Amino acid sequence: MIVDFDRNLDRRNTDCVKWDGLRATFGTDDVLPLWVADMDFASPPEVVAALHARVEHSTFGYALASCRAREAIVGWLERKHRWKVDPDWIVFASGVVPSLAVSVLAYTRPGDEVVVQSPVYPPFFEVVKANGRRLVNSMLLNVGGRYEIDWTDLEAKLRGAGTDEGPRMMILCSPANPVGRVWSRSELERIAELCRLHHVVLVSDEIHADIIYPGHRHTPAGDVTLMAPSKTFNLQGLGTSYAVIPDARLRQAFRTVQSGLGMGQINALGIAAMEAAYTMCDDWHDQLIAYLCANRDYLADRIATSAPGISMVLPEGMYVCWLDCRALGLGPGQLTDFFTYRARVGVNDGRKFGPGGEGFVRLNIACTRSTLVDALNRIEEALTATGLAERQRNEV
């Protein structure tokens, strides 16, 4: 069946963050929302049917993570990522961010260092700092518009150079939101090796693992791998994710913290949706990748041809794109004002992603092509109306 990703769904008044949270976030409703990382597409019909069937049953008591749910995950990981997982390694959780926090509590002590790599998804900083651990940042390098790991710096930080004890944990974003890298097998092996060498628990956030563009392949990594069907099938509101933890000791430590926090419950609807998504929607998923890839290429083309002063970091996976706006020469705050009030396009402020994010914005392409066209027309018009386009041409 051909999926119609061009169908515009009205998401307003559905209590959705992306469309109904505009005023709270941007101070105005008059922006086209291309920010928070969910999709404007309907979930697969098989998922919607499974949810209908579950709702029809009409009881929503405590849910069990059945063998069926585990087998659905095992099958998906094997088909999509050639990863053979023992069903017993899977620990269910409501979300990946809660599992990041659980990992911090399970594998580190107050005051310990945790390594991250900015620019990165903002909760990476919060789960470390809010739990009284120390953040150690090994910044990614922007090498001609593609992000690379600064190996010398990362090695020094994992070794704990200049500190008494060194870090106990690293949080890896794989693929890397917002910088668009799908880390190669050899890069991942090198990170894992360094972590092993320095006794650092590697926690890998792989929530975007299923959105990979042609020419790239996702490789699961990490002592603790955090995954979910949410980004892939637009199920973010159903609070269902899981950790894959092969080592029994690490798994037990994770579970102990979960139960200490009273986090044992799973979502009955989320489990039903996940089972359907992971067992019946491979074709839908293939079509989604093709649509998103075409959107990515369209965005790259339009940015190159009609957005002087902006350049795009071509993502190798994921539906968030990292736009380098430094050449526009706008000061802190002015850049987001330009997008919000002049272009009327709601994007994420790059500064939220930590050091290295200044002068960048993140734009979500999981929308219909017509929405994307509208957004680019708005950006192009605003560049012209503000004289920024003209200034760029004169500078070239």
Ligand X SMILES: Cc1ncc(COP(=O)(O)O)c(C=O)c1O
β-pairing, 224-227 with 345-346? unpaired
CB of 3 to ligand X, least distance (A): 23
Q: Closest approach of Cβ 173 to ligand X, in Å?
A: 5
Q: How far is Cα 42 from Cα 48, in angstroms, rounded to an integer? A: 9
- Which residue number, 45 or 95, has a Cβ lying nearer to ligand X? 95
Q: Which residue, 119 or 160, has its beta carbon nearer to ligand X?
A: 119
* Residue recorded with tokens 């870090």: 167
Report d(CA 309, CA 81) in Å as an integer.
38
244 contacts ligand X (rule: CB under 6 A): no
Give the up-direction half-sphere exposure of residue 16: CA atoms within 13 A in the CB hemisphere.
21
Strands 311-313 and 320-324: antiparallel
Q: Is 258 in the site for ligand X (CB under 6 A)?
A: no
Q: Which of residues 207-226 bind ligand X (CB under 6 A)?
A: 207
205 or 324: CB nearest ligand X: 205
Question: Which one of the spans 14-22, 57-65, 228-236, 365-373 is the region binding ligand X (CB under 6 A)?
Answer: 228-236
| DSSP at 61 | -
Query: From residue 17 to residue 56, what is the string marking binding to ligand X with x (rule CB under 6 A)?
Result: --------------------x-------------------
Q: Does 349 bind ligand X (CB under 6 A)?
A: no
Q: How far is the CB of 53 from ligand X (least distance, A)?
A: 24
In the bound complex, which residue of the shown chain has the CB atom lying closest to ligand X?
95
Cis peptide before 33 (omega within 30 of 0): no
Question: Which residue, 228 or 379, has its beta carbon nearer to ligand X?
Answer: 228
The answer to whether 208 and 81 have CB atoms below 8 angstroms apart is: no
Q: Which ranges of 160-261 does DSSP label H, i.e. alpha helix? A: 185-197, 230-233, 248-260
Residue 357: CB minimum distance to ligand X, A: 14
Does residue number 96 form part of the binding site for ligand X (CB under 6 A)?
yes
358-387 residues in contact with ligand X (CB under 6 A) are none
**Is 182 one of the binding residues for ligand X (CB under 6 A)?**
no
Residue 95 makes contact with ligand X by CB under 6 A: yes
Contacts of 262 by beta carbon, 8 Å cutoff, 6+ apart = none
Q: Is 205 in the site for ligand X (CB under 6 A)?
A: yes
Does position 233 interact with ligand X (CB under 6 A)? The reply is no
Q: Judged by CB under 6 A, which stretch of 40-48, 76-84, 92-100, 367-375 contacts ligand X?
A: 92-100
Is the separation of the CB atoms in 241 and 96 below 8 Å? yes
Provide, rounded to whole angstroms, the least separation between the CB of residue 327 and ligand X. 26
Backbone φ, ψ for residue 171 (5° rounding): -105, 120
Site for ligand X in 110-139 (CB under 6 A): 121
Q: How far is the CB of 99 from ligand X (least distance, A)?
A: 8
Query: What is the distance between the alpha carbons of residues 13 and 94, in angstroms, rounded to a whole number?
Result: 24
Site size toward ligand X (CB under 6 A) is 13
Long-range contacts of the stretch 75-82 (C-beta < 8 A, 24+): 75/278, 75/279, 76/229, 76/278, 76/279, 77/220, 77/227, 77/244, 79/282, 80/209, 80/210, 80/285, 81/209, 81/218, 81/219, 81/220
Q: Which residues bind ligand X (CB under 6 A)?
A: 37, 95-97, 121, 173, 177, 205, 207, 228, 230, 236, 241
